[in-house]
Amino acid sequence: MTLLEVIDLWIAYDRINAVRGVSFAVGEGEIVTLIGANGAGKSTILRAISGLLPAARGSITFAGEDLLSLPAHLRTQRGIAHVPEGRGIFGNLTVLENLRLAAYGRSQAQFRQDLREVYRLFPRLAERRQQWGNTLSGGEQQMLAVGRALMSRGRLLLLDEPSMGLAPMLVREIFKVIQRLNRQGATILLVEQNANLALEVAHRAYILENGEIFLSGPSRELQHHPRVQEAYLGG
């Protein structure tokens, strides 16, 4: 079943088209990755899906519903959970307070259940639950950003550059969690500069250049494509 469908999406910054006629789909239970150089339009697409940027034209449909008619907070309620580039945690709140904010409006029993699951995935967050967000390491902040998205019970997880600024060992840890979440049923749209890792974990990939998709297909096939190897995999 198609959970997210983007058709002929155009997004402009100051009359300059940053995304031009992009179309793709994400099936329920898939990991799909968007790969491209800086400025290719990857993060811009995620921001348009979550409602942080307006679309000039095109359509974005989630679970059969038109998203473009909804403001960002209603998209979150529908099940879009966005982990932005740079993490966006609240540094002046504790780990627990950051997680609690994402569960606003749910019962205490539901909150405790979701919190146990986040702590199971990220034991370090449990250890640091009373620590201020701005005192966490980069890896711990990334864990908190992902955990906060999970607390919102999103049906679609938008991950923007989860490996940015992390040591290689922590990058591997984050990507193992991404795979574990997917095995548990999470649908994930991943933007990632580390093309090797992105193609390892994703089922399908779309390659962007200058705001347009020029190549797409199963990740395993794209790993062996000469253009992808030369441009993104060091081949």
pLDDT of residue 15: 80
What number is the average pLDDT over the span 84-101? Answer: 89
CATH code linked to domain 2-232: 3.40.50.300
Lowest-confidence segment of 63-67, 118-122, 229-233 by average pLDDT: 229-233
Q: How many helices (H) and strands (E) does the chain have?
A: 10, 10
pLDDT of residue 198: 93
For residue 123, count CB atoms less than 10 angstroms from its CB and return exposed for 0-12, middle for 13-18, buried for 19 or more. exposed
pLDDT at 133 over 80: yes
pLDDT of residue 235: 57
pLDDT at 89 over 90: no
What are 150-188's pLDDT values in tens digits?
Answer: 888 889 999 998 888 778 888 888 888 899 889 989 999
Q: Which residue has the higher pLDDT, 205 or 102?
A: 205
- Domain limits of the chain? 2-232
Rounded percentage of the chain residues whose pLDDT exceeds 70: 99
Rounded-to-integer distance, Cα 39 and Cα 138, Å: 23
Q: Which residue has the higher pLDDT, 192 or 26?
A: 26
Tokens 């200058």, located at residue:
210
pLDDT at 149 over 90: no
What are 95-130's pLDDT values in tens digits?
Answer: 999 999 888 777 889 899 999 999 998 999 999 999
Strands (E) across 97-191 are located at: 156-160, 187-191
DSSP tag of 41 = S
Which stretch of DSSP H or E encloses residue 107?
none
